Structure 1
Amino acid sequence: MLKLLTLLFLISSVSYIDRINIAVAGKGLMEEYGIDPVRMGVLFSSFVLGYALFQLPGGAFADRFGGKLTLFVALIWWSVFTALTGVAGDIALSLGFSVLPFLVLVRFLVGAGEAAAFPSYNRIVASELPEDKKGLGMGISIGGIGVGAALTPPFVVLVMESLGWRWAFYLSALLGILLAFLWWVSVSEKGSKKIEERGNFLQVLKRKEVWFLTLSYSTFGYIVYVYYSWFFLYLNEVRGINLKESALLSMLPFVSLTAGSFIGGYMSDRLRERFGLNVGRVLVVVSGMSLAGFFILLGGASEGNLTAVFNLSAGAFFLFLSLGAYWALPIEFSNPNAGKISGIMNTGANLGGTISPTLTPLIAQSFGWQNAINFSALMAFLGALLILGCWKR
């Protein structure tokens, strides 16, 4: 179990390096090709759109063929297109076309590849971990995103200053390809086998809990993509913190969310034992999302830069306190269909995430950055309310 969860943790880390490297390297890309913040938001959203549209196919593939093959193919796919991000603009110019559509297509395909990752995790955890470890297992597996997100700003800044912004994409892609082959040779078929018994998926879709879960997780996705897409640039451009300090300070929310993911997964398993299958998980989500909203509000209103970073980091911690519980709920609803249900749930998150990278700067342009952040807090409170639809003793 330890080897399996460690590899999933590492894949999560690399997936988020590949996902958000553009939020830091984007500064060089914007300057080179003259892309303004709103068009950059469209580019951010193109990844999320591809990621959202391929969640259910990715989950169905994982339920049908198992996690080992699914993750191997997906990791190779998104790594190749991550590397192409560095040259897509030049290819477009050499062909006499506009840069932005080419970049949008490439980032869409990166997202399509990454879409299979987390539903595959759910399939693996549903198959291999005992009932009292599933929340923790999902918390650990997906918790790697915090490490990847924390390492991305200093890693990308160092590469940009040494080799140029394109190399941030090339080296990120190389990490993914190496990890794909490590995954392939290290994991046995037992750890990724498919479940032969198939639940009635259409009956599962009729359950209101699946849709309340999806709607609640969509608010989670909205907030997460504000952090991923705009936190670094918010510190650098809005609060006037220099490039290197912004890179270091922008690590803090992502370190916090890793801790929140681990602790929340453990808590959801313990509360499940105490209060029952769904109630224990729901309690963790309600608590985490409510506290996240409170600290995000404080962060947006903070005058001091360090105080703002602290409060927004606390918001990230409590946001991800709910993560393991969110991802354990599809297993509770229908173990044989856990991959597909989690794919639907994560589609909701990424539809929210498709909106937020573009909507956030638009709100900021019209009403100021504090109100853009306040809107994220409102989404957290809404998510806490919606998850109550899954409350069932």
Structure 2
Amino acid sequence: MRAKNRGYENLLLVLLFFTVGSVFFDRLSINFLFPFMREDFALTNSRIGMVTSALALTWAVSGVLLGAYADQSNRRKPVLIATVIVFSLCSFFSGLAGTFAALVMARALMGLAEGPILPVSQSLMAFASSESRRGFNMGFIQASAVGLLGAVLAPAVIVPLASTHGWRFAFYCAGIPGLVLAILLAMYIREPAVDEKREFAPLMAQREMPFTRVLMSRNIVICIIMSCLFITWFLAIAAFGPAYLIERRHFSPAQMSIFMTVLGISSVIAGFAVPALSDRIGRKPTLIAFSAVAVCAPLVIGYFQGTFVILCVAIFVAYLGYGCSAIFIATIPAESVPRYFIGRTVATVIGTGEVLGGFISPMFAGFSADKFGPAAPFVIAAASAALAVFASCFLRETAPRKDRLVVPVPTVASDPAVG
């Protein structure tokens, strides 16, 4: 039975890796296409921020609402499949947009579809994960997937397609993988079975516990703060980096693609290595160290001088800080609340971060870039990461102790972080 469970755990890990990765392939593709779209939509930095913010706002709302519905109704699989199909179709709609308003609407609809995918995926993974691999699994399907498909493959595939066939054709191609994945999810994913949940009967008895009580725990409050700060950091780099490299640092489209690919390779490695490290040395020290590393990444893009090769090496090292994101977005919340609340808690951590860090901060960064200079978003990003270092110092440790492999899922009575 253990081998069977481990086999499903690995299968789920691979499928959710590509599912979450395809979400961010679609979401981040537009950032590499902004230079090609600038003339058609008269894109200013403010308008780029508005497009990014529209998706983030609807992402946040649907993530919380549909994430809660999936948990409460135990219908994670149909919610996941339906949203994967819809966001794939929305990529086609982005390619059909003829006006700036239509483009904003297409991205807002995509955000509605994509919002619940990450929290639902992390909830499924939490049920299927062995305790000793929880940090690795949750980091792998989030940070590594985003890095490989969103930051490595997206520029490597999308930029050449846009250069040769136009940005609209690139959007059409970006929607295809999700439709294939929806079929695979329907074939192989299963809901957490009733007999699996019986192992957590004491926790299921807490279904009537107010969710607000869960959210007021110290760890969850800090994770929400860090989510806001790191999404600000992430989107400032993703939304403004490609255009800045071409227009201000005078990279060719090919150089920009290589640079962003190197950044993506760094995030792939950090995405599984940093959470795996936290399984061994603890969540808190890992977050403090790699949040500090993350401060350097936007400064490399905005200010660091050197040859192209040196810049690529510098961004590879600095972007390793991205690997800590899955720890405060998913792993610590999963270890700090009863499993019944994992999906909703992760969705709330992400959703709040998307509203403040994803909706408000890109517009603020865009306006700042137009008023104070194009490097302003990177100053904002560096300051956000620095604040995340400070916030992480107040976390309570949740990782398994080295002398035991299993950490009991906390209850209201036993968890000092709740109540």
Alignment TM-score, normalising by the size of structure 2: 0.84
TM alignment of 1:247-326, pairs within 5 A: 247-271=257-281, 280-304=282-306, 306=308, 307-326=310-329
In structure 2, relative to structure 1, the CA distance for the partners of 1:350 and 1:314 (3 Å cut) is: farther
Shift of 1:312: 3.1
Paired position in structure 1 for 2:340: 336
Structure 2 Cα separation of the partners of residues 138 and 114 of structure 1:
18
Paired position in structure 1 for 2:252: 242
After superposition, what is the alpha-carbon deviation per residue over 1:164-190, rounded to whole angstroms, capped at 9, x for unaligned? 211111111121111111111122344
In structure 2, relative to structure 1, the CA distance for the partners of 1:304 and 1:5 (3 Å cut) is: same
Paired position in structure 2 for 1:27: 35
SS across alignment from 1:240? coil
Structure 2 Cα separation of the partners of residues 189 and 391 of structure 1:
31
SS across alignment from 2:250? coil
TM alignment of 1:113-124, pairs within 5 A: 113-124=113-124
After superposition, what is the alpha-carbon deviation per residue over 1:59-103, rounded to whole angstroms, capped at 9, x for unaligned? 2133133432221011011111111111122xxxxxxxxx22222
Structure 2 Cα separation of the partners of residues 218 and 83 of structure 1:
29
In structure 2, relative to structure 1, the CA distance for the partners of 1:84 and 1:191 (3 Å cut) is: farther
Structure 2 Cα separation of the partners of residues 195 and 46 of structure 1:
37
The reply to whether residue 363 of structure 1 matches residue 368 of structure 2 is yes
Structure 2 Cα separation of the partners of residues 283 and 215 of structure 1:
17
Structure 1 Cα separation of the partners of residues 71 and 196 of structure 2:
6
After superposition, what is the alpha-carbon deviation per residue over 1:323-361, rounded to whole angstroms, capped at 9, x for unaligned? 235411111121210111111110132120223333333
For the 8 Å contact 2:237–2:381, the answer to whether it is kept is no
Paired position in structure 1 for 2:129: 129
AA at the equivalent of 1:81: C
SS across alignment from 1:251? helix
Structure 2 Cα separation of the partners of residues 263 and 54 of structure 1:
30
Paired position in structure 2 for 1:350: 354
AA at the equivalent of 1:284: T
AA at the equivalent of 1:87: L
Structure 2 Cα separation of the partners of residues 380 and 235 of structure 1:
21
SS across alignment from 1:315? helix
Structure 2, unaligned stretches of length 5 or more? 1-8, 199-203, 399-419
TM alignment of 1:11-90, pairs within 5 A: 11-64=19-72, 65-89=74-98
AA at the equivalent of 2:231: G
TM alignment of 1:205-244, pairs within 5 A: 205-244=215-254
Paired position in structure 2 for 1:275: none
Paired position in structure 2 for 1:274: none
Paired position in structure 2 for 1:160: 162
Structure 2 Cα separation of the partners of residues 169 and 194 of structure 1:
41
Structure 1 Cα separation of the partners of residues 195 and 328 of structure 2:
23
Shift of 1:10: 0.8
For the 8 Å contact 2:119–2:343, the answer to whether it is kept is yes
Structure 1, unaligned stretches of length 5 or more? 90-98, 272-279
After superposition, what is the alpha-carbon deviation per residue over 1:23-62, rounded to whole angstroms, capped at 9, x for unaligned? 1222333222333332122112111111122221132133
CA RMSD of aligned residues (A): 2.2
In structure 2, relative to structure 1, the CA distance for the partners of 1:381 and 1:44 (3 Å cut) is: same
Alignment TM-score, normalising by the size of structure 1: 0.89
For the 8 Å contact 1:9–1:141, the answer to whether it is kept is yes
Structure 2 Cα separation of the partners of residues 290 and 193 of structure 1:
43
Shift of 1:392: 5.4
The share of aligned pairs that are identical, in percent, is 23
Shift of 1:145: 0.7
SS across alignment from 1:234? helix
Paired position in structure 2 for 1:104: 104
SS across alignment from 2:394? helix
Shift of 1:209: 2.5
Structure 1 Cα separation of the partners of residues 139 and 265 of structure 2:
14
SS across alignment from 1:250? helix
In structure 2, relative to structure 1, the CA distance for the partners of 1:181 and 1:374 (3 Å cut) is: same
AA at the equivalent of 1:375: I
Bigger mean CA offset, 133-142 vs 24-33: 24-33
For the 8 Å contact 1:124–1:191, the answer to whether it is kept is no
Structure 2 Cα separation of the partners of residues 178 and 158 of structure 1:
22
For the 8 Å contact 1:145–1:258, the answer to whether it is kept is yes
In structure 2, relative to structure 1, the CA distance for the partners of 1:377 and 1:36 (3 Å cut) is: closer
Structure 2 Cα separation of the partners of residues 35 and 296 of structure 1:
22
Paired position in structure 1 for 2:381: 376
For the 8 Å contact 2:246–2:252, the answer to whether it is kept is yes
In structure 2, relative to structure 1, the CA distance for the partners of 1:369 and 1:313 (3 Å cut) is: farther
In structure 2, relative to structure 1, the CA distance for the partners of 1:86 and 1:299 (3 Å cut) is: closer
For the 8 Å contact 2:283–2:397, the answer to whether it is kept is no
Bigger mean CA offset, 189-198 vs 239-248: 189-198
For the 8 Å contact 2:275–2:323, the answer to whether it is kept is no
Bigger mean CA offset, 32-41 vs 129-138: 32-41
Shift of 1:365: 3.3
Structure 1 Cα separation of the partners of residues 86 and 233 of structure 2:
27
AA at the equivalent of 1:240: H
SS across alignment from 1:32? helix
For the 8 Å contact 2:124–2:192, the answer to whether it is kept is no
Paired position in structure 1 for 2:393: 388
In structure 2, relative to structure 1, the CA distance for the partners of 1:372 and 1:310 (3 Å cut) is: farther
